[in-house]
Structure 1
């Protein structure tokens, strides 16, 4: 007897009983969300550490925080947020030190829903372009303000999302290049905007689908245009000399197009093109080239690759006669900063840092001054000013020193994944904190290395006596490009297995009991923690999944999912589809037998245009259907915010709720706080 061939599932035949929750505006979804809101509020009211954590987080955020300054036309531009402010405000400081507010999101919108997403002053300092958005959608308006008055000088450019802005030199009149990233209106690419000058001019349409354009102008002459290919480690790069072609029709010459290369370019004071690149160096190196012959065949190495530490950022400083390349590298979450002479003419010099932490936003001013930001687990983000022959000094010099923070211990550990690969794990604790309640955090996507900067939330958790661990799973960029690709696409399940191995390791090593472990991740990290407990419901006592991906069969149809096929694969490919369906948390839970899942807290934001709040809504429904036992399944759902920045008060409430949930589920109580983990006393502060 002939048997019937098996029926193969396709994206259209996979059961999806909660697809109706993809619409949050239907009466049925509204009733369902109201029920979840009531459940969450009732549960949260009983969490003992909720108010204490919120108060401690707010206290830890009380220091004034600046962005690195930008000098234009005799003025200094920066953002500043003082303790108690809901948002940073953009200010201009004149040579006498007088500070003037140019844009304050809180004054512009007292509701707190508007955020300042980006800003860039003109070369003469008379104008500044600011991008704002409201409700968390990250798609808003690009406005031009007068530095003298703070008022708009023309109608805003609308429909932009994190638009790069590159002002033309003052001799060209008030004008700038900007980018449109969205496909919604078919105008994705680089545009020229003349202030008060009518319609914008498209100077570079995007050449391929699902690419992200970028633009920079260096040394008032060299136009750099990029197209990043989704989330892969490659981009296309063009260069134009505005001294030889008009701004409306720049002659863009390919540097590298259609090649498996990722580069970020700058032009040094010597007139050479410098590129931080993966060409010939998976962990990146810096190369230099003559702009007249910019293709890779003509590059020469300026700073070699370090085979153990990805090159994260760089800036070209110094003079035409003495160029220096300042490079920041990340060694398993810890940054280092070094000054190199191109080609190794002089030994590299380490820049002293305040501790073991994170360096970001390395920039060089035309006068050779370098600015960078530093933070570590116990030190808030601080701007430093560095002159190449000196010592970094906090900026601004008049800023009050931050209060001394308690000492936090860091241990570098290692676990073995299911396929024998050794996976790094970092563990933080206050001195003397015994084994016990532990948050295990993961991201593991898009090749991004995990950096250990300041988090008031993490520090408050540590001060309360908890422990905090990070699993450097495949899919992240902690060990370079190969580490990312080993956990991307059809191999994403390796990142899930790495996380499972890290959780089992912490329990086996006696760092915490199974019921004292809480997995935590946001966005892609949220996907991994949900996928891990979908495979192993006994893995831990609690899970926090913030704005997660969860439905990997329909992720391309939700939020920005169509941009992420290089990271996750596509359901249009049968092999990719099989891999996606295998680890998709939503589907794995639905096709599994009912089980006693750990306590789960999902967070969702109705303005989220990245991962889309349909993911946590559908995942919550699936868990409520299949979970047995007393552990709660909760959805914390917010309106008027999205995936990105928000008002400080709302950020504090979110962080306190999430970690109070973790405390309640893992047994972290007010009586556990150790003297080492407690806030410094008045005597210790002196």
Structure 2
């Protein structure tokens, strides 16, 4: 990691550090650092802000001054405290996660209302009294330590669970004896983006881990050289057995699963965020067997679903950009390897053909395929026989999103939750044999759903592409152009935005706001073609789609520029940053959160190297030119009046390192030519979003809505 003096040495200049601060904005020291890309010099005046805030006194001081300035502004907004109180009132209801079965028991997560973290409960069966299994609220006074993930042994004896501290992607895995609640001595470290896969005997599990990083670089170093190990219960991590590693392929990442019959270990290999996988499998009945290659390239998605003995089922986009289900008989593969010493071109059989809708997920429950798809970004679920014959569609009460449908081939029932923008989550038990849904519980929220409405519209983007958008608000609003409107988007990594319930969005609508969600290219709403239309050299399409959504809302009299805010997080933070630098006159306020803002250097930190699938890389000349053209940090132009902006990030974000937001905030503050505020809110002991305690979520939302009330001129009742 570079210290501040080292960064200066790289630029070949001697600059004395000072942090000047006017009465209005704490301006940031600029340095004459340049990088050269394909003969073009690019100025990076805030390179020193990339240093880890925990390791650099200069960056820590900058964070302190920026937060003082930001909270000084927010504390003067009279509506801030009433908004926080109302958010707290709305948040205070029992929240239940979707139940699931594992090892013969029923589990669910629950939050009594304002608990900082959800509590994991267990029932011996659906009629038994639930008991607390893990309460992470006991792990820290401020609620910043959370459950990061769980994996249950098939015999129901053990639970492996991970601990997430301060929002970091790093997880520490522990093991509990479920019946007694005893925590064993097992502890596994340096794990991220990975969950254990238990062997059927319950004696241990496979998992992937990274090498221990250099001290002080845990939150910035690239994540490379992952390897698969086997951990036996009761032994130390140092004794774990290396199962699979390719030191010649340091960028390969792995996920593991064990087939339901316990016969095979499946190793899925990825190199980025695209659903393009290699697949290896190992016969667990033969302790000396090596993992064999099944899929030998990264050209397509092969998501393992399950197996019938040696026949494996996969969801794939091979010759089917919207997805289909195929089967592969591994006996044919192993026979050719045995006879010829090489893996063949894999023979497959189509089971469920590509449909008009984008196939998102497939599971096997009750020996049936449960297929989740999207129709214009709305959930569809269909049940198929193993032969590929459609058995039935699952009926839902409205336009919305369903989550759940988990289980094993021997289960005869499963659970799911359903919600929409104006319908709170409702949990159902689904009978796989009869197709009947039984309502188990519905969230009791302090509002009347009948006072609100949600609809879907379609608008035309710059190049003529038809793009869907959801719009939600109180019933009876006037389309006179005076409604405060929040437009949200993401547009990346094949991730769809589907209609689901949110307390924060309800609070915004309760204040008279319109909430709009644009389903941009780059997402997963319509399959791989829609995704690819918003990646790499096509990334500008995403920004054009978002800008066109804003223009549609204005043209159709929902709002006007001075009443329109845009919001997005992570890749959505990039979206907001790019759009506000390209069309600053179009928006009344901007809320970019934990965004990727320096598009030339994102791949040099933590998980950033994975994102080149979507963004491309500045190491490629054509992609460099495209990245530079929209990189928010590099496109902050002096003399421009930028909209009021509240940037958000967190000090322990090791997904999108906070240096992105730090540099962008400094650049926009320097460039700003008018009195519109440019603020950055830097949360402490928090990461990219996962595991954030309720108290911090409410405080942050109150600040966001107060900022919009102030800058958009929202009048509260």
Structure 1 residues 498, 638: closer, same or farther in 2, change over 3 A?
Answer: same
Q: 1:345-370 deviations in whole A, cap 9, x for unaligned?
A: 4x441212232211223212322322
The answer to whether the 8 A contact 1:90-1:101 is kept is yes
Partners of 1:620 and 1:499 lie apart in 2 by 22
Partners of 1:520 and 1:556 lie apart in 2 by 24
- Note the 1:447-462 alignment, pairs <5 A: 447-462=494-509
Structure 1 residues 132, 596: closer, same or farther in 2, change over 3 A?
Answer: same
The match for 2:399 among 339, 343, 356 is 356
Q: 1:45-104 deviations in whole A, cap 9, x for unaligned?
A: 233443343334333333333334443444333322221211112222224623332221
The answer to whether the 8 A contact 1:11-1:553 is kept is no
Partners of 1:369 and 1:113 lie apart in 2 by 35
Alpha-carbon shift at residue 473 of structure 1 (Å): 1.8
**Which shifted more, 518-527 or 660-669?**
660-669
The match for 1:425 among 469, 487, 493 is 469
Partner of 1:316: 364
Partner of 1:678: none
Q: 1:517-574 deviations in whole A, cap 9, x for unaligned?
A: 1011101111111111111210111000011111112212234212211111111111
Partners of 2:329 and 2:445 lie apart in 1 by 45
Partner of 2:235: 197
The match for 2:281 among 233, 239, 247 is 239
The match for 2:716 among 648, 665, 670 is 670
Q: 1:599-651 deviations in whole A, cap 9, x for unaligned?
A: 00100100000111111111111111111222110111111000022111111
Say whether residues 1:16 and 2:16 are aligned partners: no
**Which shifted more, 467-476 or 253-262?**
253-262
What is the SS of the residue equivalent to 1:292? helix
The match for 2:69 among 39, 47, 51 is 39
Say whether residues 1:282 and 2:321 are aligned partners: yes
Partner of 1:218: 259
Partner of 1:655: 701
Structure 1 residues 514, 190: closer, same or farther in 2, change over 3 A?
Answer: same
Structure 1 residues 585, 202: closer, same or farther in 2, change over 3 A?
Answer: same
Partners of 1:250 and 1:669 lie apart in 2 by 69
What is the SS of the residue equivalent to 2:186? coil
Structure 1 residues 561, 74: closer, same or farther in 2, change over 3 A?
Answer: closer
Partners of 1:356 and 1:430 lie apart in 2 by 17
What is the SS of the residue equivalent to 1:326? strand
What is the SS of the residue equivalent to 2:64? helix
Alpha-carbon shift at residue 317 of structure 1 (Å): 2.1
What is the SS of the residue equivalent to 2:539? helix
Partners of 2:395 and 2:212 lie apart in 1 by 45
Partner of 1:677: none
Q: Normalising by the residue count of structure 1, what TM-score does the alignment of the two structures yield?
A: 0.89
Say whether residues 1:367 and 2:411 are aligned partners: yes
- Note the 1:533-544 alignment, pairs <5 A: 533-544=580-591
**Which shifted more, 404-413 or 199-208?**
404-413
**Which shifted more, 295-304 or 251-260?**
295-304
- Note the 1:466-505 alignment, pairs <5 A: 466-505=513-552
Q: Which runs of 4+ in 1 moved over 6 A?
A: 399-404
The answer to whether the 8 A contact 2:565-2:588 is kept is yes
The answer to whether the 8 A contact 1:335-1:357 is kept is yes
Q: 1:465-491 deviations in whole A, cap 9, x for unaligned?
A: 101111222211222111111111122
Partner of 1:254: 293
Say whether residues 1:577 and 2:616 are aligned partners: no
Partners of 1:67 and 1:400 lie apart in 2 by 11
Say whether residues 1:561 and 2:608 are aligned partners: yes
**Which shifted more, 147-156 or 205-214?**
205-214
The match for 1:53 among 83, 86, 98 is 83
The answer to whether the 8 A contact 1:65-1:81 is kept is yes
Say whether residues 1:179 and 2:208 are aligned partners: yes
Q: Which sections of structure 2, spanning at least 5 residues, go unmatched?
A: 1-34, 215-223, 334-343
What is the SS of the residue equivalent to 2:315? strand
Alpha-carbon shift at residue 274 of structure 1 (Å): 2.0
Partner of 2:671: 626
**Which shifted more, 12-21 or 442-451?**
12-21
The answer to whether the 8 A contact 1:53-1:660 is kept is yes
What is the SS of the residue equivalent to 2:547? helix
Structure 1 residues 8, 178: closer, same or farther in 2, change over 3 A?
Answer: closer
- Note the 1:384-533 alignment, pairs <5 A: 384-388=428-432, 389-395=434-440, 405-407=448-450, 408-435=452-479, 436-533=483-580
Alpha-carbon shift at residue 181 of structure 1 (Å): 5.4
Partner of 2:181: 150
Partners of 2:352 and 2:678 lie apart in 1 by 51
Partners of 2:372 and 2:292 lie apart in 1 by 29
The answer to whether the 8 A contact 1:471-1:499 is kept is yes
**Which shifted more, 7-16 or 566-575?**
7-16
Partner of 1:681: none
Partner of 1:298: 347
What is the SS of the residue equivalent to 1:618? helix
Partners of 2:459 and 2:210 lie apart in 1 by 40
Say whether residues 1:617 and 2:695 are aligned partners: no
The answer to whether the 8 A contact 2:394-2:435 is kept is no
The match for 1:546 among 585, 593, 611 is 593
Q: 1:425-460 deviations in whole A, cap 9, x for unaligned?
A: 222222112341111111011111111112111111
Q: Normalising by the residue count of structure 2, what TM-score does the alignment of the two structures yield?
A: 0.85
Paired residues in the alignment total 650
The answer to whether the 8 A contact 2:305-2:362 is kept is no
What is the SS of the residue equivalent to 1:420? coil
Alpha-carbon shift at residue 14 of structure 1 (Å): 1.0
